[in-house]
Structure 1
Amino acid sequence: MLDNYVTASTTRVKSDKNVPRSRFDELKHRAEKKLNSSSSFNAKANLNGVVVEFWGNSQHQYDFWRLNWNEAKANSTTDARIISAFGVTHESLFFNTEYYGQCKSWALGMAAAVLETSRNTHSIHGACVDVDGKGVIIVAPTGTGKTTQAFKLMEVPSGRIVGDDWVYIDHREGRRRGHLVGRQPEKSLYMRTESQLNKDWLRKIFDESKCENVVTSKSKCEFTQGPTGCKLTGRNCVFDDGFEWCYYAFGNSRALVPREKLFGLDKVADEARIRLLVLLRRDDTSPPEVKLDADDAIQVLRKGEYMIRPGAGPKEMWGRMGYEPWYNPYLLHLDHARQEEFFRTMISRFRVKCLLLNTGIESVEATHKRIMSALQTC
């Protein structure tokens, strides 16, 4: 039986990181009153040395939290809490949403705030893979193939996954060691289940994982075509083929998969020495590959062109182009100048090679070959 939970909100809810202190205290009091009057759950997680505490009354969020993070000692001092995000208190407050993706991102964002102050740490929203001792970071908007290319690197005999969503890079450590090291604190990958569309073998793994917002009824599928067809595959609808759920019927359904469950424990790494930064875009006109210096990379990151995918934002915007800097959008304080400084230092001072690849005009394999070729010269 599928271990699936459907949240009331299946995407991120509107958030405000600049709530006045008085209003914040009022909301926090309401939340604490509710949690104290009902069954609630507490858990502490260790995010690269930062202790983030969860306190809530959602069994679903609690289960995902425990599965996703390394557990911190019960008597460890809390650096940040999930009931809110305000200034130096590092707290996050959620009302009436059980969607784990937002909870996870805010936990990472609060840890990032502490790490940036204490260790001059750069927090990147991207995937990280180690290939034969060389770390590759892939930064890309949703829908351009970030996860696909990360998977291709993992399939290389010497490829090992560090993380698919968030990378912490301690620049203070980098200056001391003479090179940058990428790390991430998550034990599990919060995967879009639509990735099973092109990787049938993932169905068994997702079947054995905790899932969120997987469609279990044909009537709720967004991609039906005619009585029995599927717009995505051009084949029969999986519900008509006898399956009780479909992993790609909704663009934002998720599975929380332990990293070692994908390819085995020997394909997992906790850190990687960063040698290559890959930026991905998808369009019909740009060249397949452009080598970037620091200034060029900053321009691409700053422009932030991306296609709005199903499940992200209002439905009427799906498939249209949007513009938002590719810097980490989940930081508590969105300081683009600071992010640019980190990227510039990475490329200029630490000699991390940077490529901009267009996945819209080449096959997955062709893009993968370009990444592997670049690694050989790093």
Structure 2
Amino acid sequence: MPNVPNYKVEIMDPEKKDKLIGEKYQENISYGRKANLSGTCIKLLTNVEKFKEMWEDNFKSMNEDVRPHGRIFALKTGDEETRVLYEPISKTCFLLDCDYYGYVKSLALAVSGDFLEEYHSIHSRHSVHRAAVDYRGIGTAIIAPSGVGKTTQAYGLLLEKHVRLIADDWFYTTIVGNGVDVQASEKNCYIRADIASDIKEYGELLEGVSLDGFGRTVTNVRRVLGKTTMKENTTLRNVIHLKRDPDDEKILRKMKTDEAMEYILNNDFCNPHRLVTDKRKRKLRKEFFKKLYERTDIYMVNTTASIEENLEQIKDIALER
């Protein structure tokens, strides 16, 4: 499987953004599609047909009459280097010369998240980059850095009766009083093919589908697990963090708010797709996560054990066994 390209975000001013659109890239745009991301309207503008098709499969559409809250220009320009540029005032992002749809969708969600962080109200929404499931109205989030088993554990939980997927990669939250409401971000999931090597039940999910150059595809998990597999929202009760530490013999333990805050800050909010990372933004995110942790039960699971053993520990939490 090819390596996913790396990028760093280049912040630009409105004048440069206008110049790039008007003088350089306007004529390159072949397709425009709007997505409804938790009530925000994010518009894709691209000259890559595959991006347009995967976007339509991935996200719920937004009425064309709604003015975009943010835009992402995903364009092939002929240059060899992948670049990401962002203009924060108009929430305009450029993803240039990248073949990886995963960045298109992640940056769209990041633009939406950046907009929501700036929109303060009594029911402010925030985005979280990681997974969430529902069990009989009880929500559990799995928050961790990449590579420690978050996706595998989330999909393992889905095999249990009455467990439903809210999000496998990114979800939205609204803090209301002492509660935390969680909303789905995607209509269908952008899933990696090798999930079937960890959980054999998902082999059928990938039969007959076309994978992109990075071994992934947008697919409907309802096709294998049933029409009720996915759910739009839940009330969050549990937050599970993951780590992979062979020096720690304990697989599962509870965490206090201060310890969870240290974890999330040390791991850059477990979100490599943040567009603006200045001191002010860091303060906003710290305040949000503190409120989130104060309203939930927090756990740490060490994923050095087998997938099956770790999943049993996570089931004990999410299924309240």
> Shared fold by TM > 0.5?
yes
Letter in 2 for 1:24: K
Instruction: Pick one of 133, 137, 143 that aligns with 2:141.
Output: 137
Alpha-carbon distance in 1 for matches of 2:44, 2:222: 25
State the 1:57 CA deviation.
Answer: 0.8
Contact persistence 1:13–1:97 (CA under 8 A)? no
Query: Which residue in the other structure is 1:331 paired with?
Result: 274
Matches within 5 A, 1:308-323: none
Correspondence for 2:69: 79
Unaligned runs of 5+ in 1: 1-5, 214-251, 305-324
| Mapped partners of 2:293, 2:161: distance in 1 | 27
Q: 1:357 aligns to what?
A: 301
| Cα distance, 1:13 vs structure 2 | 4.6
Partner residue, 1:190: 190
- Aligned residue in 2 for 1:277: 239
* SS of match in other structure, 1:77: coil
Indicate which of 142, 148, 158 corresponds to 1:154: 158
Query: Mapping of 1:1-378 within 5 angstroms?
Result: 11-28=4-21, 29-35=23-29, 40-83=30-73, 85-118=86-119, 119=121, 120-171=124-175, 174-175=176-177, 178-213=178-213, 252-286=214-248, 287-304=250-267, 325-334=268-277, 335-348=281-294, 350=295, 352-360=296-304, 362-375=305-318
Deviations 1:51-81 (A, max 9, x none): 1111111001000010001011122222111
d(CA) in 2 for partners of 1:24, 1:54: 16
Query: 1:187·1:259 contact (CA, 8 Å) conserved in 2?
Result: no
- State the distance in 2 between where 1:21 and 1:338 align: 23
The CA distance in 1 between the partners of 2:41 and 2:195, in whole Å, is: 32
Residue identity matched to 2:110: G
Deviation at 1:295, TM superposition (A): 0.3
Structure 1 or 2, whichever has the larger Rg, is 1
What secondary structure does 2:106 align onto? helix
- Name structure 2 gaps, 5 residues minimum: 74-84
Asked if the contact 1:280–1:356 (Cα under 8 Å) also holds between the matched residues in 2, the reply is yes
CA shift for structure 1 position 201: 4.2
Partner of 2:78: none
Question: TM-score, structure 1 length as denominator?
Answer: 0.74
Instruction: Give the conservation status (yes or no) of the 8 Å contact 2:193–2:216.
Output: yes
Q: Compute the displacement of 1:154 (Å).
A: 1.0
Give the superposition deviation at 1:363. Answer: 2.5
For residue 22 of structure 1, report the CA deviation from its aligned partner: 3.7
One-letter amino acid matched to 2:202? L
Q: 1:31 to 1:201 in 2, by over 3 A?
A: same
Write the distance in 2 (CA, Å) between the matches of 1:23 and 1:66: 29
What is the count of residue pairs matched by the alignment?
302
Counterpart amino acid of residue 298 in structure 2? C
Structure 2 distance, partners of 1:373, 1:11, is 34
What's 1:319 paired with? none
| Residues 1:290 and 1:340: Cα distance change in structure 2 (over 3 Å) | farther
Distance 1:98 1:375, change over 3 A: closer
Give the superposed CA RMSD: 2.2
| Aligned residue type for 1:139 | I
